[in-house]
Structure 1
Amino acid sequence: MRSSRFINDIKDNRVVTELLRHRRVYLFEYFSAADTMVVYDQALNVQRTIERYVASVCAQGCVLPEDRWQLRELLTGQMHGPLELREIKEGKLLYLEADALPVQDIREGQVFVGYAKDVTPEKERERSLLRQAQHDPLTQLYNRRMAKTLIARYLEEKDPYASCGLLVIDVDFFKNVNDRYGHLFGDKVLREFARLLNTLFKREDVLARIGGDEFLVFMKDAGHSVVLKKARQLSEAVRKLVFEENDYCMTCSIGVCFLPENVSGYSYEQLFQNADWALYQAKENGRNQYAFCDNLHRYAEGENTEIKTEDIDARYLHNDLISTAFELFEKTNSFEAAISLFLKIVGIRLQLDRITIINTDIKEHRTSRQFQWTSPRAPAALEQQSGFTKEDFLTLFQSYDEYGTTVLQYDNMDMYSPGGAALLMQGGAKTVVYAAMYSEGEYLGAIAYVVCGSKRFWTQQSRKELGEITKIINAYLTKHLAANAINRGMMAAPDFDRLTGLLSFSRFREEIEHKIVGGYAGGHIIVYSDFENFKYFNEKYGYAVGDQVLKEFSDYLVSNVHAVGDIYMTRVVGDQFAVYVPYRGPEDSVLFVDRVNQVFQRRQAEKYPEASLRLRSGIYEIEPDCLSASAAIDKANFARKQLRPDTRRAVLRYDRQMEARQTLTNELTNGLSRAIERGEFKLYLQPKFSLKDFSVIGAEALVRWERENGTVLYPDQFIPILENTGRVVALDLYMFEQVAEFLKRGIQDGLRLYPIAVNASVALAKNPENARRYDEILRRHRISAELLEIELTETAAVFEFDRVKKLFACFREKKMQTSLDDFGAGYSVLNSVVDIPINTVKLDRGFIARCTENQRGIYFLQQVVNMVKSLGYQVICEGIETREQVDIMRAVGCDSAQGFWFSKAIPAEEFREKYMR
């Protein structure tokens, strides 16, 4: 095909041809009518002619498929260049720059003359420069700027059903590495760490070195358990890195922030600050570990609560502060917005640097902040919950003036301990006014009005004004908290447990609630577990070691609890954990949970052979009629509580029998006071008889619960429940008062009186004041203490020996008789009998039954009776049911007895009529 006029005109131009050769440019002509492409070499000689170019070759040639449409559009005049095209040649990717212009030729139709230039070297240089700009030169990971860009882009485009995690990592004590081993070795450490990150994490994750020994990992589309596993794996894998040059052992600290699904609106800066806060916690706890950010709102960017100074209505900067407070709190829809704005106005008006609303738990000796405003020149304070001593609190509390305020100066804090002074004056404070907050007489905390620049002296009128402002804030804050059990923003419930990284209990409960309410919880169970007597482990090894065990247990659960279906895990509180996992069947579930517990116990036994850690678990299969997550969790927890320390069984499944027991437990827990007020607990008396002449010598007070529905329950059906819930003391005191009233009426009616023994729970021994309360009841009814005897079981005496000894000593001081019940039931620690001040020892019915089976047992029983009597105690036997037992007990020297052979327990009025007339 004949060349166009344009080609012929430049063909003999040496300058043009040299320029084409030097620039690696090739010319081509495309004849549209014939669909023919003519390609020229750099000397403008025809290199090749390609027919049916657009129809076939353009559609199937070397140009990449996604770029072919551009070439087609260029050769038909519908697109103008220059264009960038990519083609594969000899297995390599090449980049071409191409353009074409139409040249009209009458005989050949429309002709396009264009050029193609190989720009691959330029592209490679650009790519290299771009990589250098995006990557850290030492580790080849992304640098801080590129990581931020990629993460921000992901967050903007994130699928609402996707979740992700951010890890901020520091190599521990890296400065010491450079100082001790040199910077070349330090560089090797960082490269090895980067290599490890590339090994552990996916290609699509963002891995970056953000400065020095600081690294960042952003895990895209990763679930909570995956993020938790990776944090644990990284922490463990770093410790296993080996460097042949020396004995350097590498560790790292990791801060983790997790962004759940259906949560949006978070920026890179917010996630980074949250993860960085968690990293700080890991360092504070001793490094070489990871810590979870427990609350995404910890560094959430404000919405309506962050109001700029220029947005404050000018009149608020001049009006009376009291009037301004009422107007803002009454007219602003959001309490958070109102409190934030008002604190800012107060800070500006009074030229303060910081205002902190502080919540104080007097019982737990803990304090935390609820809201805080800071000026640009002041740091935040009380960023995490802190502890204080009773002495420091009393010093502060007693210093409040008539306005509820006290002024503290940084150079006059000698009355406080060093820790107390640091807590009260933290954040660079020079002068702080603390104004107390109360609710119905209960101390809730204080508001701290802080000046950081220099000391300030407050007049009496100024302190009075701060006291009034505090009362208004406190009133609206109390109202707000009452209306919102879980507040958003600064007071939002945490999403994750700070220690273990598992879901927070509130978040766990919310997730399970969604499953149950939505009808998706069928085929799942709740497993509620704890470590038996874990407080003793903490006392022996320290709380830091205890926390490490809890962390290892959470890691163990994440790594070993696998199933098809939804799985959620939480640390409820302390050493208590809950897991939501698919159901395996009644027996399989018990075996599965027991196996999981046993394996972890064996691992810990190797580390702490003297500790004997024991896990206990309750299981509840979620039923179709289960109404809520709280109900499901409570049932699993109730099953756990039924496990006794003295049994080998460590896993218990919730069943119908247990459901009836829980119903009764709830009824007692919530309705005990009402049942007592209604007189549902009735006094019964079982007479005691002398074995010499079978005369009545006294009685034991027993209780029957005659419920509103007409059923009658015996003590063994409800007393253990009251003991477990700590409510038994109320019933003990009530029954003692019933006995006192019974004796009082007997005295008034001139009847024969007998000493009455009243059972007491070991819970009484926990408070020596209970002896005084018993004495007050006797004084009120004018009853001689000699007519009352307090019975406590031998088991209680053994396990609470010191407390029981003190309590019985108090009873003896009040002239009351004391008795040790159930002697021989299983412990029979004779030195306990010797040391505890008692008058009577009551032999257990089971002990008597065993000993009266043969002559050898009878001989042993006689020796026990003789020994106890030789110590000066009276001996009474209970549970006598046959004449044979009566004869044996008389023969071995027992003084008195009670049991069904003589009389069962009868209503108090029947006893009165039968024995006291």
Structure 2
Amino acid sequence: MEKERIRHREKSFLTGKKRMEKLKVLMKYAGISVFEYFPDADRLVLYDEQLKEERRMQPFLGRLEELCTVYPENREKLRGFLTGNIQGTVELKMLENGHYRMVLLDALQQEEDDPSIIGCARDITEIRKREELLEDQARRDSMTGLYNHDTGKRLVNDYLMEKRAEQPCGLLMMDVDRFKNVNDVYGHLFGDEVLTGFARFLQSFFRKEDILIRTGGDEFAVFLKEINREVLEKKVGDLVKKVGELTFSKKEFSMTCSVGVCFLPGGAGAYSYEQLLEHADLALYRAKIAGRNQYAVGEKLVPLQKGEKGETAVKLLMDETMEKREFEIYFQPKISLHNYKIAGAEALVRWRRPDGIVVKPEHFLPFYEKNGKITELDYYVFEQVAVFLEKTKRSGIVPGPVSVNVSALHAEDPQTTQRYLEILQKHGVDPSMIQMELKETDTIRYENIRNLLHSFQQAGFQTALDNFGVGSSFLNLVGEVPLNDVKLGRGFIEKCEKDHRGTAFLKQLIEMLKSLGFQVVCEGVESARQVEVLKNAGCDLVQGNWFSMPLNTKEFENMLSLPGELRCRCREYTEYTAGGKTE
């Protein structure tokens, strides 16, 4: 009884005129159209929104390529659906009036005595577009619109697996220079403006087929397909230049970026995104060390272990730089205020990049100090000084003691002094020709530092304390430390020369240090006034741009061979030297 009642309701729903109108409206709203296919006659009939025959196509499957706007790759799917070989729903992609749309086909169950197929076609274009949009949003960084790191990694790895072995490619790793300062000075909203503006620039600058990724924070990666090294480097050079031309709402803000480049030549073997990123990141590290606002290319593809990026990056960078002998030694003469002759020098390290640019130590030493690799750099510099002293010894030139900077980290190694002595023995240089120089600020490790300095003196080295006066905790300990020289920092003389009280204090301090048996040196001397103040105060030695800029090995050798006083010769070049900075 109940079944009869339900059947009656269904029949009345379908046959009632008012209900049929509602059904048509529903079909129109849902984007549904009805079709009927007759296999025996190969005839397809399409019905309009009023369920009236709108179009008849016969033959249909026999002329499918001519009659249908279904994408070619979907046509066999349609053929299988109409012939009954494919059961269930079928999704087709169609092209109409230059625009594609997605259609979902479904059919009623066929009657045994009726071979025709009655079905409906539903336009699901907007549904699929919304799904694609949501999927795309999930793949992209919400702020910049670039691929997020997970998606970018997958896309690059897919390409690397499928590409031909001989195809070269490259990966760039870049970040906004000193971005933390941007947030601190201008606020996070402006920081977001910088990141989104940079992302828009990257989208306009690179090719459509390149993969642009925001890896996190202010860091971005770009993967370039099928590109040779020459084109890649030119592209990156243009990138760094054009970034400096970007403008933002804060007119005073000038943006720069650093870029690390990993180039994968054709035939280099199989590499993953993660491996290329490690090497691009290493190159980026190098660009930062070199002073930022530039790019660096990783020269070697070496296996990097997971979690080693920071330490391994610095070690690989330093090993590569030393291997190529990119670190150079400069000498800044120390001048005696008693006779204005050279009485020694301080050895300073510079990094000469392959492009000829000389990088000052403040741009790369902090990275080595932070990662504990500064000790190896110290040994490298020390050996270069030993080579120089060996050469001058053969030439009969006596430059006086050369001071070399020693990191406080050496105090943790009981073999430090022995290793330095072995280097000198290798080159036949006497320890008295070397002065080991530590900073006053290193004396926070007082006991270890005192032991290290004592070990140096026992081995025959001279010892010195650099930047005296920068801190204050060492004043009460200076008499207990085994030192030959105490060096006053640049800031000390700049403050003391300003008035009578300052010069009086300077004179008293120098007298105190000399009464303890120390020779007093002042660095950063850049004017005749400073020379006069220091001479009157009893200072023994000075160094600074007033007398000489830091010189490379050849220039220092030439200076050592010159006769006479240095003071008068330098005063002829006052305009050139007075405005410089001592390194």
* TM-score, normalised relative to structure 2: 0.52
Choose the corresponding residue for 1:420, options 407, 414, 419.
407
Change in 2 beyond 3 A, CA 1:89/1:805: closer
SS at match of 2:145: coil
Choose the corresponding residue for 2:94, options 82, 87, 95.
87
Provide Cα deviations, 1:128-168, integer angstroms capped at 9, x if missing partner.
11121112222222121211111111111121111111111
Provide Cα deviations, 1:529-559, integer angstroms capped at 9, x if missing partner.
xxxxxxxxxx99979xx9xxxxxxxxxxxxx
Per the TM alignment, residue 231 of structure 1 is displaced from its structure 2 partner at its CA by 1.3
Match of residue 202 from structure 2: 197
Task: Give yes or no for contact 1:75–1:100 (8 Å, CA) kept in 2.
Answer: no
Choose the corresponding residue for 1:273, options 278, 283, 302.
278
Choose the corresponding residue for 2:42, options 35, 39, 46.
35
The code of the aligned residue for 2:377 comes to S
Distance (Å, rounded) in 2 between the aligned partners of 1:419 and 1:127 = 61
* Alignment partner of 1:66 is 2:73: yes
Change in 2 beyond 3 A, CA 1:32/1:384: farther
SS at match of 1:26: strand
Per the TM alignment, residue 237 of structure 1 is displaced from its structure 2 partner at its CA by 0.5
The code of the aligned residue for 2:103 comes to L
* Alignment partner of 1:54 is 2:61: yes
SS at match of 1:103: coil
Provide Cα deviations, 1:83-131, integer angstroms capped at 9, x if missing partner.
211112343221111134662565x7x3222221111121111111112
Provide Cα deviations, 1:455-511, integer angstroms capped at 9, x if missing partner.
xxxxxxxxxxxxxxxxxxxxxxxxxxxxxxxxxxxxxxxxxxxxxxxxxxxxxxxxx
Per the TM alignment, residue 279 of structure 1 is displaced from its structure 2 partner at its CA by 1.1
Distance (Å, rounded) in 1 between the aligned partners of 2:285 and 2:256 = 15
Q: What are the equivalent positions in structure 2 for 1:639-678 lying under 5 Å apart?
A: none
The code of the aligned residue for 1:289 comes to Q
Task: Give yes or no for contact 2:258–2:295 (8 Å, CA) kept in 1.
Answer: yes
Choose the corresponding residue for 1:386, options 377, 382, 386.
377
Query: How many correspondences in the alignment?
Result: 357
* Alignment partner of 1:126 is 2:131: yes
Change in 2 beyond 3 A, CA 1:9/1:82: farther
Choose the corresponding residue for 1:249, options 249, 254, 257.
254
The code of the aligned residue for 2:82 comes to L
Distance (Å, rounded) in 2 between the aligned partners of 1:432 and 1:224 = 47
The code of the aligned residue for 1:122 comes to I
Per the TM alignment, residue 65 of structure 1 is displaced from its structure 2 partner at its CA by 2.2
The code of the aligned residue for 1:25 comes to I
Give ranges in structure 1 of 5+ residues lacking alignment.
Answer: 1-6, 303-353, 367-378, 395-415, 444-538, 547-765, 767-799, 807-917
Task: Give yes or no for contact 2:382–2:404 (8 Å, CA) kept in 1.
Answer: no
Give ranges in structure 2 of 5+ residues lacking alignment.
Answer: 1-9, 308-314, 330-348, 350-369, 387-402, 428-546, 565-583
The code of the aligned residue for 2:155 comes to L
Change in 2 beyond 3 A, CA 1:99/1:364: same
Distance (Å, rounded) in 1 between the aligned partners of 2:142 and 2:301 = 33
Per the TM alignment, residue 192 of structure 1 is displaced from its structure 2 partner at its CA by 2.3
SS at match of 1:257: strand
Distance (Å, rounded) in 2 between the aligned partners of 1:104 and 1:125 = 37
Change in 2 beyond 3 A, CA 1:802/1:417: closer
* Alignment partner of 1:98 is 2:73: no
Choose the corresponding residue for 2:211, options 200, 206, 211.
206
Match of residue 268 from structure 2: 263
SS at match of 1:279: helix
* Alignment partner of 1:75 is 2:53: no
Per the TM alignment, residue 189 of structure 1 is displaced from its structure 2 partner at its CA by 2.1
SS at match of 1:221: coil
Task: Give yes or no for contact 2:171–2:261 (8 Å, CA) kept in 1.
Answer: yes
Task: Give yes or no for contact 2:60–2:67 (8 Å, CA) kept in 1.
Answer: no
Task: Give yes or no for contact 1:163–1:222 (8 Å, CA) kept in 2.
Answer: yes
Change in 2 beyond 3 A, CA 1:801/1:192: closer
SS at match of 2:87: coil
Provide Cα deviations, 1:676-709, integer angstroms capped at 9, x if missing partner.
xxxxxxxxxxxxxxxxxxxxxxxxxxxxxxxxxx
Q: What are the equivalent positions in structure 2 for 1:227-626 lying under 5 Å apart?
A: 227-243=232-248, 245-297=250-302, 299=304, 382=373, 386-388=377-379, 389-390=381-382, 419-422=406-409, 424=410
Per the TM alignment, residue 182 of structure 1 is displaced from its structure 2 partner at its CA by 3.5
Provide Cα deviations, 1:428-455, integer angstroms capped at 9, x if missing partner.
xx7787897999x979xxxxxxxxxxxx
Per the TM alignment, residue 223 of structure 1 is displaced from its structure 2 partner at its CA by 0.6
SS at match of 1:295: coil
SS at match of 2:408: helix
* TM-score, normalised relative to structure 1: 0.34
Q: What are the equivalent positions in structure 2 for 1:817-836 lying under 5 Å apart?
A: none
The code of the aligned residue for 2:282 comes to W
The code of the aligned residue for 1:251 comes to T
Distance (Å, rounded) in 2 between the aligned partners of 1:29 and 1:115 = 8
The code of the aligned residue for 2:84 comes to G
Task: Give yes or no for contact 1:74–1:99 (8 Å, CA) kept in 2.
Answer: no
Per the TM alignment, residue 68 of structure 1 is displaced from its structure 2 partner at its CA by 1.7
SS at match of 2:116: strand
Distance (Å, rounded) in 2 between the aligned partners of 1:10 and 1:33 = 32
Instruction: State the Cα RMSD in Å.
Output: 4.6
Change in 2 beyond 3 A, CA 1:442/1:113: farther
The code of the aligned residue for 2:382 comes to K
Per the TM alignment, residue 291 of structure 1 is displaced from its structure 2 partner at its CA by 1.3
Distance (Å, rounded) in 2 between the aligned partners of 1:541 and 1:298 = 42
Match of residue 449 from structure 1: none
Task: Give yes or no for contact 2:378–2:406 (8 Å, CA) kept in 1.
Answer: no
Change in 2 beyond 3 A, CA 1:802/1:257: closer
Provide Cα deviations, 1:561-602, integer angstroms capped at 9, x if missing partner.
xxxxxxxxxxxxxxxxxxxxxxxxxxxxxxxxxxxxxxxxxx
Distance (Å, rounded) in 1 between the aligned partners of 2:265 and 2:375 = 23
Distance (Å, rounded) in 2 between the aligned partners of 1:38 and 1:277 = 66
Match of residue 490 from structure 1: none
| Residue identity (%) | 36
Match of residue 176 from structure 2: 171
Distance (Å, rounded) in 2 between the aligned partners of 1:390 and 1:70 = 76
Distance (Å, rounded) in 2 between the aligned partners of 1:541 and 1:83 = 80
Task: Give yes or no for contact 1:95–1:123 (8 Å, CA) kept in 2.
Answer: yes
Match of residue 15 from structure 2: 12
* Alignment partner of 1:221 is 2:226: yes
Change in 2 beyond 3 A, CA 1:384/1:271: farther
SS at match of 1:386: helix
Match of residue 162 from structure 1: 167
SS at match of 1:94: strand
Change in 2 beyond 3 A, CA 1:115/1:170: same
Task: Give yes or no for contact 2:258–2:292 (8 Å, CA) kept in 1.
Answer: yes
The code of the aligned residue for 1:259 comes to L
Task: Give yes or no for contact 1:142–1:209 (8 Å, CA) kept in 2.
Answer: yes
Match of residue 715 from structure 1: none
Change in 2 beyond 3 A, CA 1:298/1:235: farther
The code of the aligned residue for 1:31 comes to F
Provide Cα deviations, 1:154-189, integer angstroms capped at 9, x if missing partner.
111121111111111111122222333333333332
Distance (Å, rounded) in 2 between the aligned partners of 1:148 and 1:60 = 43
